[in-house]
Structure 1
Amino acid sequence: MDEVELLKKLVSIESPFGKEEEISKFITSLLEENGFSVERIPVEGFGDDVLARLPGKGPTVVLNGHMDTVHLSPGWSRNPWGEVDGDRLYGLGSADMKAGLAVLLSLFIEMGELPKRERPSLIFTAVSDEEGFSRGTWKLIESGKLRDADIVLIAEPTNERLMLGARGRFVIKISAKGRKAHAARPQNGVNAIEELAKVVSNLGRIRLRKHLKLGKGSYCTLSFRGEADGLSVPDRAEAIVDRHTVVDENWTKVREEIERLAKKLGVTAEIRVERYPRPTPEMLPYAVRENLREVKLFKRAMKEMGVEPRVTYGKSVGDFNYFANYLRRTTLVFGPTGGNWHGSNEWVSLSSVRRVKEVYREFLKTLV
């Protein structure tokens, strides 16, 4: 099946996270038309996950892609539902990650035409809500339907580099409790806004652990709220903070480093540090060893297909964090070149899409 024509069709289907039902039905129908038995796994409030199996020889390989996109942003000058200009296909989700999804789906269908002895066992999975809380991937892992997997391949856009790890992420709620007083006599109270502002404006002073492959973590304040009750010293304030982490950084360490900072700054408000509630587990960092057999074989496949076997590591999080940490399988991420992910005029290189498919095909051949 031609991956570029399939990509055009996928991009034409609107599927922001929470509205994946139509694309889920399309993928299901396509697989069934090609003779596959398909499982649809409900994800409450989102489109169903799609799963299909293809028995083969050797290890069991999961081919994973997410069906959802971010919501359409303003500023598009290209058709967000698909427009080809030279080597580029413009469209919402074209790079992130309908191109990768098209590669894996078309490859899975083509692998079904080969004799069983010439392919590994494959599990194709298309999931919802990657752009939100990874509900689809978590539902898939939680179901136990992937417990026989040996390797996970994800075609997120990596500019044709092999991604062997990624940072993790905590979203943190930092609350400050002060003491109310008349605003004309602020010295009689404790201003929660001002005290919490000391903390968030000094997060950059925290010394962060450095990882050989993942680099350092980071802090970024996402929101800040607080207000006075009339002409009063405000006694409540709250900040939501992003904290990207590297291997060996955990929640206890993160919480304690913020608490130490507040103490060092002499903050007089009562500071409370909590994890912001989420419906799925935390996204933890991971790194795949470069000397693994699967990694060496993938690099060889890249070289065979004329792609320089370069390695990269993700600065942010995705479904790959879940497969690596909760399914606990070797997780390799490799996808096409593109640009403007999550922004206007997102695009993907069509020649890159074709090369990525050839690399995956070559790698799968080496496993049998």
Structure 2
Amino acid sequence: MFEPERCAREILGQLVRIRTTQPAGDEKDAVIFLREIFEPFTKEIAVLDHGANRASMILTMPGRDRGGAVAVTGHLDTVNVDSEEAWTHAPFSAFCDGERLYGRGAADMKGGVTSIVLTALKLFREGFEPSVDVHFCFTADEEYGGIGAEALCNSGKLDCVAELVVVKPTDGRVGLAGKGALGLSVSARGLSAHASRPGQGVNAVEQVSAFARSISALLRKKGRYPLLGASTCVVTGLHGSISTNVVPDRAEATFDIRTSPGISHAGLLDQIHEMARAQMQKYPPLVLEITPYLDRPALGMDGDAPLVRRFVRIFKTLGLPWETTGITYFTDASVFVPRLGVPFVVIGPGDERFFHQADEYVTLKAVLQSARIFEEYVRTIPGAEDGEG
């Protein structure tokens, strides 16, 4: 007998106990666990081995029309644990108080993965046949490089996918926009001088800071985006001082830039390089060198798109309040959506304000609610004969 609450607790608990922390990942251990769950129901399980005990998996539920497909995707990796002493309960013990299950990755993203698993299990046990193929995807390395999503796109197994549900902790709200991420390494070479005579030097640390402020001002001029607000530039690393009484002539910094949909990263980089040239001309012999280390595009969906309207109907059917949100961090959607060219929504259990922290948790109620949403989504996927309304 399929008991959703018991299954949720057991599957989520085991996923939390399986350590898939970055940078090692070790997602293959979780893939083995998930494959064993579904092997009694289907042979359509594809494991993509990335090496070094890292892997992603695609579980396919065959549809009546095998020429079409949709995908529901969640990731298996988690961030690391900085200090276990900061946790009330051991971060991999999967302690459950009956309502909340605690542990590293409980919200991001083992709770969401559990919701996907519960959905697939229930439908497989029923022998349900969707209108088109449904690919349940479990990816490695979402938190950093996106090797899992890239490998799935390169595999060709998602070529027929027409729409995408990306599972992330949104506290039950539906994400219709996501900020892009542009990471820059900035190196500055100025002119050294004694700190008592700063006017004789070109302070590389101050120049990097001024450069960041210029980028922030440029982004503010580009306005605010609904659900996301303004684009931002944050200095996340800065080193340059060589002595307490010397104007530093070298500085190394990292800039984390978050962009709204409609901002081309290529165009933005052109503007940033032009600003650097202007600053160097103003403060010779200053040299600014800029190297991108991360480039994830921003994404946005029209609130009246057919996929979104279907989710509105799903929420109404289930008696759930409809609320949309924007995703300020990047997700696998920033890999999948540009590569596949498909509409998307982002939704899942857990509150984004509390993941990546000590005592991370997700409620079993939220996991089960997301599973009901995903189940209704699969049941109501239109076929070629149905069209979109």
- TM-score (normalizing by structure 1): 0.89
The one of 10, 32, 56 aligned to 2:15: 10
The one of 327, 339, 343 aligned to 1:326: 339
Query: In the alignment, does 2:279 pair up with 1:270?
Result: no
- Could you tell me which residue of structure 2 aligns to residue 223 of structure 1? 237
- Could you tell me which residue of structure 1 aligns to residue 366 of structure 2? 352
RMSD between superposed Cα atoms in Å: 2.6
SS in 1 for 2:120: helix
State the Cα distance separating 1:153 from its structure 2 match.
Answer: 1.4
The one of 293, 315, 337 aligned to 2:350: 337
SS in 1 for 2:314: helix
In the alignment, the residues of structure 1 paired with residue 58 and residue 42 of structure 2 have an alpha-carbon distance, to the nearest angstrom, of 14
The one of 23, 26, 35 aligned to 2:33: 26
SS in 2 for 1:332: strand
Q: What is the one-letter code of the residue matched to 1:305?
A: L
Deviations 1:191-217 (A, max 9, x none): 323322332355543334222443221
Q: What is the one-letter code of the residue matched to 1:16?
A: T
Query: In the alignment, does 2:315 pair up with 1:302?
Result: yes
Deviations 1:303-352 (A, max 9, x none): 21121121111112111121222221122211113452000000111111
The one of 38, 43, 48 aligned to 2:55: 48
Q: What is the one-letter code of the residue matched to 1:358?
A: R
SS in 2 for 1:255: helix
Structure 1 residue runs without a partner (length 5+): none
State the Cα distance separating 1:104 from its structure 2 match.
Answer: 0.8
State the Cα distance separating 1:162 from its structure 2 match.
Answer: 0.9
- Could you tell me which residue of structure 2 aligns to residue 284 of structure 1? 297
Q: What is the one-letter code of the residue matched to 1:139?
A: A
SS in 2 for 1:89: strand
> Structure 1 residues 31, 273: closer, same or farther in 2, change over 3 A?
farther
State the Cα distance separating 1:230 from its structure 2 match.
Answer: 11
The aligned runs of 1:229-244 (5 Å cut-off) are 233-244=247-258
SS in 1 for 2:39: helix
CA contact (8 A) 1:46 1:128 kept: no
Deviations 1:71-103 (A, max 9, x none): 113211123221112421111111111111011
CA contact (8 A) 1:191 1:269 kept: no
The aligned runs of 1:105-254 (5 Å cut-off) are 105-115=117-127, 117-118=129-130, 120-180=132-192, 187-201=199-213, 203-206=215-218, 207-209=220-222, 210-228=224-242, 233-254=247-268
> Structure 1 residues 67, 31: closer, same or farther in 2, change over 3 A?
same
> Structure 1 residues 109, 39: closer, same or farther in 2, change over 3 A?
same
In the alignment, the residues of structure 1 paired with residue 208 and residue 74 of structure 2 have an alpha-carbon distance, to the nearest angstrom, of 40
The one of 56, 60, 83 aligned to 2:95: 83
CA contact (8 A) 1:258 1:273 kept: no
- Could you tell me which residue of structure 1 aligns to residue 71 of structure 2? 62
Q: Which moved more, 1:195-204 or 1:297-306?
A: 195-204
> Structure 1 residues 273, 212: closer, same or farther in 2, change over 3 A?
farther
Q: Which moved more, 1:188-197 or 1:234-243?
A: 188-197
In the alignment, the residues of structure 2 paired with residue 311 and residue 182 of structure 1 have an alpha-carbon distance, to the nearest angstrom, of 55
> Structure 1 residues 46, 163: closer, same or farther in 2, change over 3 A?
farther
State the Cα distance separating 1:231 from its structure 2 match.
Answer: 8.1
The one of 35, 38, 43 aligned to 1:36: 43
> Structure 1 residues 260, 16: closer, same or farther in 2, change over 3 A?
same
Alignment length (residue pairs): 365
CA contact (8 A) 2:261 2:299 kept: yes
SS in 1 for 2:33: helix
> Structure 1 residues 201, 246: closer, same or farther in 2, change over 3 A?
closer
Deviations 1:114-172 (A, max 9, x none): 44545541112111111111111111112222111112112211110111120101001
State the Cα distance separating 1:274 from its structure 2 match.
Answer: 2.5
In the alignment, the residues of structure 1 paired with residue 19 and residue 27 of structure 2 have an alpha-carbon distance, to the nearest angstrom, of 8
In the alignment, the residues of structure 2 paired with residue 216 and residue 269 of structure 1 have an alpha-carbon distance, to the nearest angstrom, of 34
Structure 2 residue runs without a partner (length 5+): 383-389
CA contact (8 A) 1:170 1:275 kept: no
SS in 2 for 1:301: helix
